[in-house]
Each structure stands twice: as C-alpha cells, then as structure tokens.
Amino acid sequence: MTDSRIPADLPDHIRHYIDGAFVDSTDGDTFDVLDPVTNQTYTTAAAGKKADIELAVAAAKRAFDEGPWPRMLPRERSRVLHKIADIVESRDARLAELESYDSGLPITQALGQARRAAENFRFFADLIVAQSDDAFKVPGKQMNYVNRKPIGVAGLITPWNTPFMLESWKLGPALATGNTVVLKPAEFTPLSASLWAGIFEEAGLPKGVFNLVNGLGEDAGDALVKHPDVPLISFTGESRTGQIIFGNAAPFLKGLSMELGGKSPAVVFADADLEAAVDATIFGVFSLNGERCTAGSRIIVERSIYDEFVERYAAQAKRVTVGYPHDPATEVGALVHPEHYDKVMSYVEIGKTEGRLVAGGGRPEGFDEGNFVAPTVFADVSPDARIFQEEIFGPVVAITPFDSDEEALALANNTKYGLAAYIWTNDLTRAHNFAQSVEAGMVWLNSNNVRDLRTPFGGVKASGLGHEGGYRSIDFYTDQQSVHITLGGAHNPTFGKQDPHEPTDLDDPDPR
C-alpha cells in the first residue's frame, strides 16, 4: 500500500476550542486517534473533563448573556450561516479527504456528506429569515402573539458515523436561532470537528458562540449533560447512551432531543420493481459502511419471490467493492475503530449460527489488517434471532420471508426500534396502509433514504425522542413565549372592592 491515502498536513494534535482559542485540557490529558486502515495512532486529541466543560460552558454563557449573537437580526445571523456554507462548499474535497481518513468512510460518500453539511447551514439560514410566528386575536378584547427566543447554551453530543454532517445538523439550527453551543464530538473521530473553529472564525461568528470540547462520553459528555447552565441537550448516538443521558438530565428537567439506534425493515412485496428494490436495499445497508442509523438492515421479502431475491441480492452483495477509503472506486471502506470492528465481527459469527450465510462472512480477501468487513448477507433468519433484533451498525444484513401483508407488518414491527422503514410495492393502497401502520418515524415508499430537509426527522420506540428537521429544529432550540395584551378596557375580576350592592366579578376565563 502506498501513502497516497494519507492526507497532507494532518495535525499532530487536536485541541479544544474554547472562547475563541485552541486549548489543551486543564489536566493535560490526551487520547489516541487511530487510522481505521492500519489501526495505528496518527494523532492525539485533548481529553476533556469536567473542568474543561466548565470553561466551555462559561464562555458560551457569557456569549449568550452579553454577546451580540442572540440579539442580532435573523438576516444578520443568516449571512454568517451562508458564509459558513460557502466555506464548507469551497473546501468540500479537503473535508472529505480528512473525514474519510479519520472515519474510514469511502471518499465519494464523505464528499456527499460534506456537501450535505453545507446544505444544512444554508437551509437553516434561509428558514430563520422566512420564519413567522403565530398571532391570535380575540376581536375587541385581546391580542396574543408568540415571542420566540433562543434558550441559552445548547449541548450538542454527536456520534462518529458521519461526524461532520451530523454536527452541522445540530450546529445549523442551534446557531441560526441565536443560541450559543458546546459541541462534544465522538472520540473515535475528532478530526473534522476541529475544522469548525477556523470555518466559523472566517465566517465572522462572534467569539464564545461556538465551543468544542473533545473527550470521552463518560467524562466530557457526562459533564456537559450534568452542567446546570446547559438547558438543552441534542444527542445522537446509541439508544443505551440515550437512556443514560435521559436519567442524568432528569434532575435538571432539560430539553432533550434524541436521535438513537435503529434496526429498520425494508419490506419487498412480490409486485415490486425487483431490480430497483435490490439496488436500493443493497445501498440501504452497505452505504456508509453499514454504519448508518437508518440502514434497512432487516429485509423482509414475500415468499413467492424470496428465492430469486436472495439469489440476486447475494450475487450483487458479492460484487460490492470493498476498498481503501481514499479510493474513489470504493463502495465499502474500513469500519471506524477496532472496537467497533470486533463488535460487528462478533455478530457475523453469531449470524453463522442463526441464518444461512449467502455472501461475505468475514474479512474480504486482500485486506489482512484494518477494520475491513466483507458485505455479509444472511438469509432465512428467524425473527427472534439476535441478528434480526440487535443493531449491528456494519455491512451485515438479515433476510426473512413472509406470506401475507399481516405477517410482513408483524415482522417489520417486531423490534424495539422504530427509526425508518422502506416499502417496495406497486400497489398504492397497500403501500399507504402499510406505511401508516408500520412503527417507524420515517417511511420511504419505493425509494431509498432520500431526505427533504423540511420534513420531520426522528424515531419512535427506542429510536428516539422528539423530532428535528425544518421547523421542528427551530422549535427545539427556541422558547415560544406567549404575550397577551388586553384591547379596550382591562377585563379584571375585581377582588377587594366588596360593595354589598355590586357582586364581585369572578368571571375568570381560564382559571389555572
């Protein structure tokens, strides 16, 4: 292997960014960052703890209480956000190169994620200038309107699967609405997050508005969740971590938005366009190395086409190109970290006892080191199998047959998760009935996961809490204060003016 895959000018150390300056941890602690192709340490990052979070929150709180950002006109904030989007777009190739190197994502897909990050900023920049709020009139009596306000310091905690893009998904709306932030990115992939500081400075974001603390979830993440001056936590990660954060935030009654794990079904009926369904379900589970929260990792196929589907699917899965992340021909790269590789490989072994292996099943040929896993397909998987129930978050898929619409729905819903569902059928009535009955926050009919940024994003059951996306994000990051004013004379129930000739007016329209 040549070194052409190693980006030029990699940092030899990654710092926090607090109050407009790059700083190390107060205790000097660091952690190693590995390259997923060799699993060698290529840099270190500052390991933040409670003391570092305290500095970052204090800076963000100062910027919120005293700085210009929350007080600027939406148009002024929007200009800064558009500049951020311009800079991200103009550096998409470099961003993709670094992201791909740090995370193991194929370079072409990392490029798409960088562009989506720019689009997230652009979208929320546009949304806040178009934003209108409700006003309600009771003719001649009362006028009521919504005074929307940023909330304060938002704590943003993100995973490693598409780091830069998922950070933008939270940073865009949190900043657009006038909050200040502390970002705690995933410890496996701190490289691209460290680029935000320079981008934001260049775009003119005031000092202290954006703060970044690297570190482990149990240290830096935990301290952020438990900080009393952080009223909001937006978290994306595993359902189990979401439960811990929920518990830790409870004493503070914080606002929580949680985008969690998934085990999404892709249901293929016999009347579907088979070629499109195979293409989509291959992409749905093997893109982003299978490290995709909305992966259609359980494929449920009508019995009459089951054998043909499995045969075509397995043949195509075997042709998916596994390769080095920097190679534009690569379709599946290297999993993010050896710990995650071990987890995925353990499921591959479990799968061999639970299903019929029809593709993959281990390391791809020619890749003796690094976190490479061949696209792996198990057929005839029973619904109580662990590989049918548990999120693997790698290039591994379980296929199961069904005989009736009712059975397909029961299989689709037979999991603790409820993030996405993909339905393949040409029967319009069935498609909509199924979509409306399936327990999933998002459904795609005869479609891959193609997102419209205006739509709600979120899961049901163990896949999440609340929704972001479009105005839902604006709602999460703002308070909607109701302001009421009387028109005409004050409408007062009168107390303390008791005159035996005039009865007290106790007409209180909403006695709360």
For 5, 12, 41, 386, the CA distances from 8, given in Å and listed in that order, are: 9, 12, 16, 43
| Residue 390 touches ligand NAD, criterion: CB under 6 A | no
| Residue 238 touches ligand NAD, criterion: CB under 6 A | yes
Which of 259, 302, 331, 468 is an active site residue?
259
Applying CB under 6 A, among 70, 190, 262, 470 the residue interacting with ligand NAD is: 262
Least CB distance to ligand NAD at residue 219 (A):
9
Spatial neighbors of 482 by CB under 8 A, at least 6 apart, are 144, 145, 146, 147
Least CB distance to ligand NAD at residue 203 (A):
24
Within a 13 Å sphere around the CA of 53, how many CA atoms are in the beta-carbon half?
28
Least CB distance to ligand NAD at residue 177 (A):
20
Applying CB under 6 A, among 96, 186, 230, 442 the residue interacting with ligand NAD is: 186
| Residue 344 touches ligand NAD, criterion: CB under 6 A | no
| Residue 65 touches ligand NAD, criterion: CB under 6 A | no
| Residue 221 touches ligand NAD, criterion: CB under 6 A | yes
Least CB distance to ligand NAD at residue 32 (A):
15
| Residue 158 touches ligand NAD, criterion: CB under 6 A | yes
Least CB distance to ligand NAD at residue 485 (A):
41
| Residue 375 touches ligand NAD, criterion: CB under 6 A | no
99 and 158 in contact (C-beta within 8 Å)?
Answer: no
Applying CB under 6 A, among 322, 391, 422, 473 the residue interacting with ligand NAD is: 391
Applying CB under 6 A, among 163, 237, 370, 401 the residue interacting with ligand NAD is: 237
Beta bridge partners of 396: 376
Which of 97, 99, 167, 293 is an active site residue?
293
Residues in the interface with ligand NAD (CB under 6 A) total: 31
| Residue 241 touches ligand NAD, criterion: CB under 6 A | yes
356 and 379 in contact (C-beta within 8 Å)?
Answer: yes
Q: Is 167 a catalytic residue?
A: no
| Residue 354 touches ligand NAD, criterion: CB under 6 A | no
Instruction: Considering only the stretches 30-38, 198-206, 211-219, 322-330, report the one whose residues sit in contact with ligand NAD under the rule CB under 6 A.
Output: 211-219
Least CB distance to ligand NAD at residue 259 (A):
3
| Residue 393 touches ligand NAD, criterion: CB under 6 A | yes
Residue of 436, 441, 340, 431 lying closest to 393 (CA atoms): 340
- Name the token pair of 248: 């830790």
Least CB distance to ligand NAD at residue 402 (A):
25
Spatial neighbors of 104 by CB under 8 A, at least 6 apart, are 36, 37, 289, 325, 333, 334, 335, 336, 370, 371
Residue number, 225 or 381, with CB nearest to ligand NAD: 225
Residues 399-414 as b/e (b if ≥16 CB within 10 A, e otherwise) read: bbbbeebebbbebbeb
Spatial neighbors of 176 by CB under 8 A, at least 6 apart, are 74, 77, 78, 81, 124, 125, 127, 128, 474, 477
| Residue 419 touches ligand NAD, criterion: CB under 6 A | yes
Report the distance separating Cα 451 and Cα 469, nearest Å.
10
Q: Strand 16-18's sheet: what is its strand order?
A: 21-23, 16-18, 210-212, 180-184, 153-157, 232-236, 255-259, 464-465
| Residue 236 touches ligand NAD, criterion: CB under 6 A | yes
| Residue 159 touches ligand NAD, criterion: CB under 6 A | yes
Least CB distance to ligand NAD at residue 248 (A):
7
Applying CB under 6 A, among 69, 101, 160, 269 the residue interacting with ligand NAD is: 160
Q: Is 365 a catalytic residue?
A: no
Applying CB under 6 A, among 464, 470, 474, 478 the residue interacting with ligand NAD is: 464
Within a 13 Å sphere around the CA of 468, how many CA atoms are in the beta-carbon half?
25
171 and 84 in contact (C-beta within 8 Å)?
Answer: no
Residue of 476, 482, 481 lying closest to 231 (CA atoms): 476
Applying CB under 6 A, among 97, 187, 302, 331 the residue interacting with ligand NAD is: 187
Distance between terminal CA atoms of the chain? Answer: 72
Beta bridge partners of 422: 266, 444
Indicate the burial class of 91 (C-beta count within 10 angstroms; 0-12, 13-18, 19 or more): middle
- Residues of this chain that interact with ligand NAD (CB under 6 A) are 157-161, 166, 184, 186-187, 216-218, 221-222, 225, 236-238, 241, 244-245, 259-262, 293, 391, 393, 419, 459, 464
Catalytically annotated residues: 259, 293
